[in-house]
Amino acid sequence: MREFDYRRASDIPGALALLGAEPEARYLGGGTNLVDLMKSGVERPALLVDVRELPLDRIEVADDGGLRIGATVTNSDLAAHPEVRRRYPALTQAVLAGASGQLRNMATVGGNLLQRTRCAYFTDLARPCNKRLPGSGCPAVEGEHHNHAILGASPHCVAVHPSDMGVALAAFDAVVHYATEDGPGAVPLAECYLPVGDTPHRETALPAGALITGITLPPAPVAAASHYRKVRERASYAFAIGSVAAALDVRDGTVRDVRLAFGAVASRPWRAHTAERALIDGPATAEAFAAAADAELAAAEPLPGNAYKVTLIRNLVVAVLTELAEETRRTEETTR
């Protein structure tokens, strides 16, 4: 590991100034991803700016009924917060599915969204990787890619974004807030992650040196009836091979509102807008759910080793939406 300096920031302007003064500096939150990458040599910062003590560790109900979530809120605190559990249960489920309790106690919301891909070629310095060394190639295309992207990829990179939390946040139209030395800014989560294209090393639309300060979730009544379902190759805290965050509002058997996002299928959490449009004002049936999933997945371009993901995501969509529709039906019956 390269020798590095360490500074602890006490306020946001101080953190920005420390990072701005050192071109090879990185912000340090929980360190659950960054420190691992430093050990492997993928990340080699000259300075770590510790932001854990910044006043960004609160979850508050906004005036409009949404939520404000600070960037240094730990995953454990996010999952346990009563308003998150009540208003956005899929978000709680996604966080709890994401890691062990020990990691959740350390990991932060901001760091979770900025974690790097877990592609084995990315973390192996002996192999080429366009994300790590632009222009060197993507060996996963012809090599091991069973857990790689089926949507929105390119010949330059087929890695997937590993965040479970991000999938639920994408389903509920989260907005990322950040600070720079030029002032604050905000970007919808859907626009925060850049398309892969031919520059996979450019992962986000955040300005250089930006510090994520928090996430806002707009009010979404449909989110109160939501689930997150994750499939992984082992039960013990593995990364997803496919996941779905879904929320459903059904009245008299008709879909009035729906939110869908997929995980482990693209370089970013994948909001399934095509499927949502196909479901609105239609019947809440397994057949309709399957047809909507097929419409979304028509754009999939799987590689030989990961074509199973198309069927997997389709089945997950049907299973989760059917479960939510059945829960609504039972609630309606008990309130009559």
Q: Please give the pLDDT value at position 235.
A: 79
**Length of the chain (residues):** 336
Residue type (1 letter), 164: D
Question: Rounded to whole angstroms, how far apart are CA atoms 299 and 290?
Answer: 15
- Sign, Cα dihedral of 43, 46, 52, 56: negative
DSSP string, 158-206: ------SHHHHHHHTT-EEEEEETTEEEEEEHHHHBPP-TT-TT--B-P
What percent of the chain is modeled with pLDDT above 70? 100
- pLDDT-based confidence at 1, cuts 50/70/90? confident
Q: Please give the pLDDT value at position 237.
A: 75
Neighbours of 248 (CB within 10 A): 25
Q: Tabulate helix, strand, coil % of the chain (nearest 5).
A: 35, 25, 45
- Helix 308-335 to helix 286-297 angle, to the nearest 10 degrees? 150
- Range of weakest confidence among 67-71, 121-125, 236-240, 283-287: 236-240
CB 278 within 8 A of CB 260: no
CB 189 within 8 A of CB 204: no
- What mean pLDDT do residues 281-299 have? 98
pLDDT digits (tens, 9 = 90+) for 221-259: 999 999 999 999 987 778 999 999 999 999 999 999 999
Q: What's CA 197's distance to the chain center, in Å? A: 19
Tell me which residue of 193, 272, 269, 258 sits closest to 225, measured CA to CA.
Answer: 258
- What mean pLDDT do residues 32-42 have? 94
CA-to-CA separations, 194 to 7, 200, 215, in angstroms, rounded: 30, 8, 18
Question: Rounded to whole angstroms, how far apart are CA atoms 231 and 9?
Answer: 38
CB 228 within 8 A of CB 164: yes
CA-to-CA separations, 49 to 16, 41, 215, in angstroms, rounded: 9, 18, 21
Written as six digits, the tokens of 44 are 């080699």
The alpha carbons of the chain give a radius of gyration, in whole angstroms, of 20
CB 67 within 8 A of CB 88: yes
Type and span of the H or E element at 242: strand 240-251
CB 84 within 8 A of CB 43: no
Going by the DSSP 8-state scheme, the letter that residue 47 receives in this structure is E
Beta-strand relationship, 240-251 and 254-263: antiparallel
Question: Is the confidence at residue 335, as pLDDT, over 80?
Answer: no
pLDDT digits (tens, 9 = 90+) for 43-83: 999 999 999 999 999 999 999 999 999 999 999 999 999 99
In sequence order, what are the beta bridge partners of 228?
245
Q: Please give the pLDDT value at position 336.
A: 66
